[in-house]
Structure 1
Amino acid sequence: MLETRELTIRFGGHVAVDAVSCAFAPGTLTAIVGPNGAGKTTYFNLISGQLAATAGAVALNGRDLSGLPPSARTRAGLGRAFQLTNLFPHLTVLENVRLAVQATRDGAHRRGLNLWSIWSDHRALTVRAGAILDEVALAARADDTAASLPHGDQRKLEVALLMALEPQVFMFDEPTAGMNAAEAPVILDLIRRLKRDRSKTILLVEHKMDVVRELADRIVVLHNGRLVADGEPAEVIASPIVQQAYLGAAKA
């Protein structure tokens, strides 16, 4: 479904991502891991269009997305949740999700001033947004502003926005970062449920190896911007290269 071909970005003389080629199939969850500064988030930024590649390409279902802005890549089917929350802080929780749902619908809100149709469409959007809030355990906070939520709930709200967009590819950048032990399981359970939809592809940047072991079908390891390992979790974690580059094992 998703493919990167020799994807590269240079900042002056520094190569942050160095000719990374990967293909990600539907129905799989791939964890992208590596030490700090390995290029994981930069790789995500290249895929989602926040950064323009120096060389290489990104393709979704065979369509070259290179040169397209993030908004066009989102419409094409790429959904990205950020390491830092990216919300409408002064809108309510429900309004945030309803806007995301609305972005995917061709309803009366796009077609003109038929008041009955607009009301019916608005009600349908609200019902769908409410159902998503139920899924992320935020229904009780629907009328609160996004800015008033604690950090863990803001993370859950951002996942709700991503779910509302109904992408083909879900990209999670450290989804449990900053969450406490009670909050993180809600997000991880959501990702498990998304994984059961075999038509979706999931990419996950994550530092917590217990999460990676539990969720990932495949691990891709970046180090100094290069792809150094790619395979099944047990095989990759046991690799001497990974032990040295990521887990900090002493050289023999």
Structure 2
Amino acid sequence: MSSTRPDAAAVPPPVLAVREVTVRFAGLTALDAVSFTVAPGSVHAVIGPNGAGKSTCFNVLSGLCRPASGSVRLGDDDLTRLAPHRIAALGVARTFQNIVTTEGTVADNLMLGRHVLTRAGFAASALRLPGAVREQREHLARVREIAELTGLAEHFDAPVTSLSYGDRKRVEFARALCLEPRVLLLDEPVAGMNAAERARTAEVVRDVRDRLGLSVVLVEHDMGLVMRLADEVTVLDFGRRIARGTPDEVRRDPEVLRAYLGTELSGKDVA
């Protein structure tokens, strides 16, 4: 359909490059010259203890926070000082730590994710002009596909308030996918879930990455999930990058072991 990115799976997403990003709040340095690169089609985890700068990093990537210095580029596009809606239009979608859903059905919530892709104006939609009706029908069909992909098909017409916690978190994940992103930012996607919900969500994230060919940047405290899903890991501590590499490399890094909870953790504990 004209309002999606039909070649998203066929064409790899561009490289997401974070270069020397520094963020300060009232004299406090939240990020200190942080750099990392997200390879096309990879799952890249950003981890670290509480207060390490992970949320600030995500806020920079999604345009909610502007750095004092440094840059963020998605391929040839400079995202550093763009507004959130412009970053979203370039193909960067984000979920949040806390569930952000509206009243209504799963379908209603997922359709909200299509707003950046909607071409028909308010008047055309309100008057139900043929072009607007056709576009709405196409969006709804795509939303059904994404609900199927994320395991929400059986709940498509159900009120969001009737769903379990894990399913409501998955609604937010699916709504981000409805933007047809090239890069998906997942902020603690399994926080508060039980073991079965965490396993299901990890499976969905892996399946979405493989089938849609997008890049995933993941912030998550569940180290078991991070080590299973991530292709590469960046570790922050007090706003500085202290390690990067594959999960196996990071889990054995002495700086990482010292940083977590301020104790000498074993590689088994971090795994």
TM-score normalized by the length of structure 2: 0.84
Decide whether the 8 Å contact of 2:149 with 2:208 is kept in 1.
Answer: no
**Taking structure 1 as reference, are residues 142 and 194 closer, same or farther at Cα in structure 2, changes over 3 Å only?**
closer
**Taking structure 1 as reference, are residues 110 and 133 closer, same or farther at Cα in structure 2, changes over 3 Å only?**
farther
Q: Which amino acid aligns with 2:32?
A: D
How many corresponding residue pairs? Answer: 250
Alignment partner, residue 32 of structure 1? 46
* 1:50 positional shift: 1.1
* 1:150 positional shift: 3.0
Decide whether the 8 Å contact of 1:136 with 1:186 is kept in 2.
Answer: no
**Taking structure 1 as reference, are residues 37 and 109 closer, same or farther at Cα in structure 2, changes over 3 Å only?**
same
Aligned match for 1:65, one of 62, 79, 82:
79
Q: Secondary structure at the match of 2:113?
A: helix
Alignment partner, residue 104 of structure 1? 117
Deviation per CA, 1:31-53: give whole Å up to 9, x if none.
11111111111111111111121
Alignment partner, residue 78 of structure 1? 92
State the superposition RMSD in angstroms: 2.2
Decide whether the 8 Å contact of 1:109 with 1:121 is kept in 2.
Answer: no
- Hey, what's the Cα distance between the residues in 2 that align with 1:49 and 1:57? 12
Residue ranges of structure 1 left out of the alignment (5+ in a row):
none
- Hey, what's the Cα distance between the residues in 2 that align with 1:8 and 1:90? 38
In the alignment, does 2:178 pair up with 1:164?
yes
* 1:248 positional shift: 4.5
* 1:119 positional shift: 2.8
* 1:136 positional shift: 2.1
Decide whether the 8 Å contact of 1:32 with 1:221 is kept in 2.
Answer: yes
Alignment partner, residue 18 of structure 1? 32
Alignment partner, residue 207 of structure 2? 193
Alignment partner, residue 233 of structure 1? 247
Greater mean deviation of Cα atoms: 186-195 or 111-120: 111-120
Deviation per CA, 1:172-223: give whole Å up to 9, x if none.
1110011122322232112111332584221111111111111111111000
In the alignment, does 2:108 pair up with 1:95?
yes
Q: Which amino acid aligns with 1:85?
A: I
Q: Secondary structure at the match of 1:5?
A: strand
Q: Secondary structure at the match of 2:86?
A: helix
TM-score normalized by the length of structure 1: 0.90
Greater mean deviation of Cα atoms: 120-129 or 21-30: 120-129
Alignment partner, residue 142 of structure 2? 128
Aligned match for 1:202, one of 199, 206, 216:
216
Alignment partner, residue 223 of structure 1? 237
Decide whether the 8 Å contact of 2:97 with 2:188 is kept in 1.
Answer: yes
Aligned match for 2:133, one of 119, 143, 146:
119
- Hey, what's the Cα distance between the residues in 2 that align with 1:250 and 1:108? 58
